[in-house]
Structure formats: structure tokens, C-alpha cells
Amino acid sequence: MKTAIGLSLLLGCATWSAPLLASDALAQKAGCMACHAKEKKLVGPSFKDVAAKYAGDAGAAAQLSAKVRSGGKGVWGQIPMPPNDAEKINDADLKSVVDWILKG
């Protein structure tokens, strides 16, 4: 009985953390980490700062996804973020990464 409970807890934790790890890996794969870090500013803002800025904004995911696709400058400074097309990160992966960032 104890083994079954322990296994259930382990599987539950693995299920919960897998999307977080996958999104971290997706951000790495897409090249996001060349300019961004989780906790500190590099060329662009940290993901933690992005999450804080957009906390409570119901349209944040769509807005950030559009920003990743089109690029831009001025929100976080004058260094531009280049556009990232679907060949670099597909729509499903982009949604996963943006959701991961916004969860802080």
C-alpha cells in the first residue's frame, strides 16, 4: 500500500514538473536564452520581470506571443528584439513558453 501511494505521489510530481521543464527546454531550443534569463536581465528582461509586469493582464499571453513573432523595441529599452517566425518556434511551443514565463 505504501509503495502505491509513494508511486502515485512520484508520478503526480513528474506530471506537474514535466511542462515546466519542457518549456525551459523549449526556450533554450528556440534561442530565447541567448538574450533572456529566468532571474536576471541579460540583453532583454528576465522572465521573472516579464511575469511581474504582465501579472493580472488577461491579454498578456496573446500580447507576448505577438511580440515574439513581430519583434520590437521600446517596452524594455532601445535594444530591439528580433522577430521569431514559426520556423524558429512553432505556435504550440510558443504558447507553452509564454505560459511558462507568465507563471513566473
Tell how far CA 9 is from the center of its chain: 26
- Terminal-residue alpha carbon distance, the chain: 36
Domain containing 92 — which CATH number? 1.10.760.10
This prediction has a pTM of 0.78
Tens digits of per-residue pLDDT, 30-86?
A: 999 999 999 999 999 999 999 999 999 999 999 999 999 999 999 999 999 999 999
Task: Give residue 17's domain range.
Answer: 2-102
Q: What is the DSSP string of 50-65?
A: HHHHTTT-TTHHHHHH
Number of domains in the chain: 1
CA–CA separation, 34 and 42 (whole Å): 8
Q: Categorise residue 55: left if φ over 0, alpha if ψ from -120 to 50, beta otherwise.
A: beta
